[in-house]
Each structure stands twice: as C-alpha cells, then as structure tokens.
Chains A and B, each alone.
Chain A
Amino acid sequence: MFEQLNSIHVSSLLFLISVLGILLNQKNILVMLMSLEMMFLAVSFNLTFLSLYLDDITGQIFSLLILTVAAAESSIGLAILVVYYRIRSVITVELMNLMKG
C-alpha cells in the first residue's frame, strides 16, 4: 500500500521545510508558529505511517497525543502572542530583543 521509503521521505522533507521556515524567517512570528505546527504535523505523519507499516497501534496513539499537545501548544502560543501584541503593539520578530543576555 504505502512505500515505507516514500513516506519517510515525505515526512522528513516536510520536517526540514518547517525547520527552514523557522530558521529563514526573519520577520513574521505567525509564520514561525505555523512552521512549528507543520513540524508537529510532520512528526505525527511519520508516526502514523510507521504505525501502519509496522502494524502497531502505538504510533497512532502517539500521533493522537501529539495532535492534542500541538493544539494545546498553539493555543497557549497564540495567547502569549496576543498578550505580547497588547503590550508592544508589534509582532515583528526582529524587534523582539527583550531576552538579551
């Protein structure tokens, strides 16, 4: 049904794209959050494929768990973003320099 190699390729490609999306994006924090979501997606994608391939339910359980965690995480992240926007009234990444060492 599914080629194992193909599925791994697709998921890892997706993961890499999302990593590059975080890395190369210098401006918009929303894009970064979206890339983060994509990263979760890639991981859970991978898990689902592998669970099917290995005929083991654990992967799918984990995938579901990741989905919930991702949903919770994105909600908290967006909440933080909203709070941040209310204080600074800007969400440009370059201007976020309050964490200076």
Chain B
Amino acid sequence: MYLLILVLPFIGALITGFGGRWLGYYGASIFATACVSISMIFSLLAFYEIGLSGTVCYISLSSWISSGTLDVSWSFLFDSLTVVMLVIVTAVSSLVHFYSISYMQDDPHFPRFMSYLEIFTFFMLILVTSDNLIQMFVGWEGVGLASYLLINFWFSRLAANQSAIKALVVNRIGDFGLSLGIFLTFYIFQSVDYLTIFSLTPLLSSHYLQFAGFEVHSLTLVGIFLFIGAVGKSAQLGLHTWLPDAMEGPTPVSALIHAATMVTAGVFLIIRFSPLIEFSSVVLTVLIVVGSSTAFFAAMTGVFQNDLKRVIAYSTCSQLGYMIFACGLSCYNTSIFHLSNHAFFKALLFLSAGSVIHAVSDEQDMRRMGALVKFLPTTYSLMLIGSLALAGFPFLTGFYSKDFLIELSQVSVNPNLDNTSGAFACWLGSLSVFFTAFYSFRLIYLTFLNNTNLNKSVLHKVHESSNFILLPLIILSIGSIFIGYLTKDLFIGPGTDFWKSSIFILPNHSYFVEAEWLEAKIKWLPFMLSISGVLLASLINLTYFKFYLHTKFLRFWLFLINKKWYWDAIYNKTFVYPILKFGYFISFKNLDRGFIELSGPYGLSKLVSIWSKISVKLQTGQLTHYIFFMSIGLCFLFGIVLNSAHSFNLNLHLLSFYLVLIFFI
C-alpha cells in the first residue's frame, strides 16, 4: 500500500503520457484522476496508520549505488512528517486533477497535461518519502523538471518558454547549493541516509572543517548549503524571481506547483533536517532573517501588483517566508502546520482565481474586472473564504497557524531570551500580516465588489464555471475552514506526540509554553493588524476616499514596489547580462573561436603556409644570393660546431637567434 502511493501516479503518468492518443480526453481524465485519487486514499490510510496509530514504516527496495563507504539504496521512510506531506500533496494534486478535467477541456494536448501533473505528483512523493539525500535529490530535480514542463505547457507562447527556463535555471542555482550540501554531508558523516546523519549529528556538534581557508563549523556549513537549496525551491528572497514569472503556466499548474507542492519542498527539507539545523545557531539566524525578509518583501510587493495570479503568487512567497522563519525560531511543527493549512487555502485561492479568469474570457488584470459578485456568487464566496483564511481571520485555518506563529515570534522578543533576530522576525512578520490582509481584500474588491471595468461583450459571456471546477473548490474551502481546527491539537497541541522523532527541537529552543503566557494585547495584535488591513482596503475601495499619489516621492515608491523593487532589473543588469556577455564574447568568441582555434588547427595551418611563403622567398633566383647563403651557412655551421664545443646553452641561444634572423630576412 505504501509503495502504491508512489507507483500509481507514476504508472498513470506513463500511460497517460505515452498512450494519451489511445486514451483520449475522457480516458485520460478518468484514468489520471483515478490514479491520483486512489493514491490519495492510500495516503489517508497511511496517515491513519502512521500519524494517528503511531507506527513508522520503512521500506527498503533495493541497493542503488554501492561503492566503498557510499551505500545508497532505494528505500522509503514513512514517518509523521512524510505522511503529512503525502496527504497534502496527493489531496491537492487529486483536486487539481479533477479541476483540470473541466478547466483544460478545450486544450488539444489534454493527455499530455494530465501526464505532466501526474509525473509532478510522483516526483514530489519521491521527494517526501525518500530516506536518503540522493533519492531525495531525484525528487528535488524531478519536480524542477516537471515544473519546467508544466509552466511551459503552452510551448508556443514565448513568455511561457522564458518563464519556464527562468524557473528551471533559478532553481538550478539552489540545487547546486543543495548538491554541495549533499557532498559535504557525505564527507562529514560518511553516509547520506537520514537516520545515520541525524543520529550522528549531536556527536559532531563541535566538529570543525577546513573550508576555503577558514575553520568552519561543519554543521553550520551543511545547514547553509541545504538552506541555499531551500531558497531556490521555496522562492526565498534572493532567488524568488522565478515564482511570480511562473504564473505563465495554466492556473491548475500554479495551484499545484506554487501553492501546495513544489515550493513547500524547500520548507520540507528544512523541517526534515531539523535534527541537524537545531545544532547550529548561525543557520537558525539566517533562516529567521531571510524568511522574515521574504515574508515582508513579498507581502509588500503583493500590495501593488495588478495581475490576479501574481498577487496570489506573491502571497505564496510571503507565506513561505513565514514558514522559513518559523523553522528559524525552532518551531518546526508550527511551520509544517502552516504549510498544510496554507496548501489548502492557497490552492483554493489559485483555483478560484482560475475560475474567475475562465469566466471573464482569460482576462488576468484585476483593474479590468469588477462587479463579478453578481455573476459568480459561488466563486466569490469561495474566494472570500480563501482570503479570510489567508488573512488569518479567527477560527479559519490561517488563524490557527499564522497567528500562533506571530505569537511565537513575540515570545522571542523577550529580552531575556537574547534573541534579537527573533525580534526582527516579529516586527516584519506582524507588518506582513497587515499587508497580507490588505492585498487579499484589495483583490476581493477589485475583482468582485467594485464597479465593473469589463467590456460589455465580455460581461455578456460571464458565467459560473461548471461543477467540475466548483466541486474541488468547495472541498478545498471546507478544508480551509476546518483543517486548522481539526489538526491543531494534533500538530501543535501542547505535548503532542504526533511528530515523534521526525522533528527534533532542542529543549532550550522550545517556546511553546511561553507563547501561552503572552499579554492579551500582544495576542490581539496580529488580528488587529489584519483587521486594519481589511478596513483600509475597504476604505479605499468602498468610499471615495483616495490616496492621491501626486507627490513625486510617493509615486516613486509606488512604482518601485509595483516593479517588484527592481529585483529582476537589477539581476539582469548585474548578473544575467554580464554573464551572457562573458559567455558570448569571452568564452565563445575570444577563447573557443579565438585563442584555442588560433593555437589549434586554424592557427597551425595558417602558420605553416606563412612560414613556407617566407622560406620560399629566400630562393630569389639570384646566383649571388645563393652563394651568399652557402657561405653564411658554412660560417654558421662552423660557428655552431665551435660554440657547442664550449657550451650547449650558448648554442641554443645562437640557434634561436639564427632562426629569428632567418624569419625576418
């Protein structure tokens, strides 16, 4: 059963991919959805068996690489962390499959789409179930590849191609860091198995390593490299540029990749490596700083974006920042709790956005929507649930994880803890709450409640989506309402033994009890901030109150944030184009076609012809010249013979001198 969870999507992908023409639209949709749904049922069973009944399942299939001390096998570890991820991935994936049946109905490449979705699910499952780093890397690269294929699904579009390549390449930067981390792990631990690594970690907590001429704490180095991998995959600040661009793919793809699965892989990696990261305070600080900066940056950028999907993408980026800084605060179980909740309401938001886009003839700009509440009441209510959950409205899922996260960061503000980076996270996280609420409701207002800006011809055609689209949304909205409440005690309840040994928190890093003793006004703070965000969005959109941005200063800021703080432009100017130019001018034109060609075949052939022409010129046809050369030659010969009798060095010098002389005659 455990292996069937993995095998079913794989078989589904193969059959739908290679036999798509034979299956046809109905065959592909039924087969693909059935495969993933059965996989979801099995993962729910696995969740019951492992998560609730408290067992751990370890399956070792076969040896893969065995060389010296390196022993990698195809084996699968199903513990609490894995089954939570399994349920999230398969549940969201099967709902997305179901949704795509109707959403991608008119697409001629439907079986290919389903096949890609399934291969994506398969690689994600490989990623979460593996018990060693190498096998995890298979899944890691696999989801990168699948994301390329999916973003690039409409391959005839230039923008889709570009953003798919961008996603792949930017991810690859992180993957490079991760692979360095894997090599380093093997160097330090002589093993890549999780269980070996984690049991050896406390032993090596004061192990130092020579790296680039410095004495480096080896666990810190491993943690940093793993975090670089997570930065790429989870779109943290620095390598986040691919995530908003990846919206070029079809909407179900965005929901699958950028809400629930792929971007969570980085967070999953960090949580999985909690036994290692706990022993390095540097890595924890880095996690906090980068995570909270990402949360704040993305939330602020999301405020001034006008593309419906891009707003949600930035919101994803922001929420991932929350998860990462939760890991930095050593609250791994809160992080995974937020991850699971976020998967539900973000998939809901993305899929509802897809429904809206579908309804208004593929218009994605929010400024050209409005007043859709009359036409799409169901989508409106679903999206409202999603937005409220995202904004952390009390008693919805977002509240249970996000507000608790903020509370935990409030604990670390306490000066006794001497955790200044925690205060940093607290401030940025709290501010992000405000922005999150603001852009969620700005989205709701601009799309549904304001006066319409749609064309009349488009407005005539606005219709509610089919039940195939609405059913997954309804299921997800139920999830968005109840999942947080239902799993709260399981995941982050005081003294819960759900995680067993899959998550490790050093006892002096645990603030769970302290979070219960915060002052009431601090506990109310996130809620107040999100309410004020909602109120501000309502104030701007409902009344005629306007922030007139006539001053140049404000306009500058507005423009800056709308252009995503010019990250892309700066990256292009400082890294991409210089490297591209280096590649073309230096390595291609100067080295490959220049220097190496000149010292290789091209230059040599040219040299021979030049020299032969020169030596031909020596024969002028004049008798006197020949006689001159004969006598000079005799003199040389005597000179060389006489000189070599004295010393050999002089001889060589003379020889070269004569050669040069002949060359320039």
Contact = CB atoms under 8 A, between A and B. Distances in A.
Pair from one complex: yes
B609 interface: no
Assign chain B's interface to a size class: 10 to 19
B616 interface: yes
Contacts of B69: none
A100 B621 contact: yes
Contacts of A96: 621-623
Contacts of B628: 23
B661 interface: no
B627 A99 contact: no
Interface in B611-660: 616-624, 626-628, 631
Interface string B175-206: 00000000000000000000000000000000
B619 A23 contact: no
A99 B619 contact: yes
A97 B621 contact: yes
Given A19-B631, A23-B631, A98 B621 contact: yes
A19 B632 CA distance: 12
Contacts, number: 35
A61 interface: no
Contacts of A93: 622-624
A100 B623 CA distance: 10
Interface in A15-44: 19, 22-23, 25-26, 29, 32
Interface string B224-242: 0000000000000000000
Interface in A30-65: 32
A3 interface: no
A100 B620 contact: yes
B624 A101 contact: no
Contacts of B623: 29, 32, 93, 96, 99
B581 to A, nearest CB: 48
B622 A101 contact: no
Nearest to A97: B621
Most buried by A among B620, B622, B626: B622
B621 A94 contact: no
Given A19-B631, A101-B616, A26 B624 contact: yes
A101 B623 CA distance: 12
Interface residues of A, number: 15
Contacts of B626: 99
A101 B621 contact: yes
Contacts of B619: 99-101
Given A26-B624, A93-B623, A93-B624, A101 B631 contact: no
Most buried by A among B624, B626, B628: B624
B630 to A, nearest CB: 9
Contacts of B622: 93-94, 96-97
Nearest to B615: A101
Nearest to A26: B624
Interface in B584-633: 616-624, 626-628, 631
Nearest to A27: B624
B627 A22 contact: yes
Contact of B618 (A22, A99, A101): A101
Contacts of B620: 97, 100-101
A17 B619 CA distance: 26
A90 to B, nearest CB: 13
A97 B620 CA distance: 7
A94 B620 CA distance: 11
Most buried by B among A22, A29, A32, A94: A22
A86 to B, nearest CB: 19
B285 to A, nearest CB: 79
Nearest to A24: B624
Nearest to A20: B631
A88 B617 CA distance: 24
Most buried by A among B617, B619, B626, B627: B627
Interface string A74-101: 0000000000000000000110111111
Contacts of B617: 101
Contact of A23 (B616, B621, B627): B627
Interface string B394-438: 000000000000000000000000000000000000000000000
Contacts of A101: 616-621
A27 B616 CA distance: 24
B326 to A, nearest CB: 86
A23 B619 CA distance: 16
B516 to A, nearest CB: 102
Nearest to B617: A101
A32 B627 CA distance: 11
A22 B631 CA distance: 10
B72 to A, nearest CB: 70
A100 B621 CA distance: 4
B618 to A, nearest CB: 7
Nearest to A100: B621
A98 B631 CA distance: 21
A25 B622 CA distance: 12
B414 to A, nearest CB: 96
Contacts of B621: 96-101
Given A22-B627, A23-B627, A99-B621, 4 more contacts: A93-B624, A100-B621, A101-B616, A101-B620
15 contacts: A22-B627, A23-B624, A23-B627, A25-B624, A26-B624, A93-B624, A96-B621, A96-B623, A98-B621, A99-B619, A99-B626, A100-B621, A101-B616, A101-B617, A101-B621
Interface of A: 19, 22-23, 25-26, 29, 32, 93-94, 96-101
6 tightest CB-CB pairs across the interface, nearest first? A101-B619, A100-B621, A97-B621, A99-B621, A101-B616, A96-B623
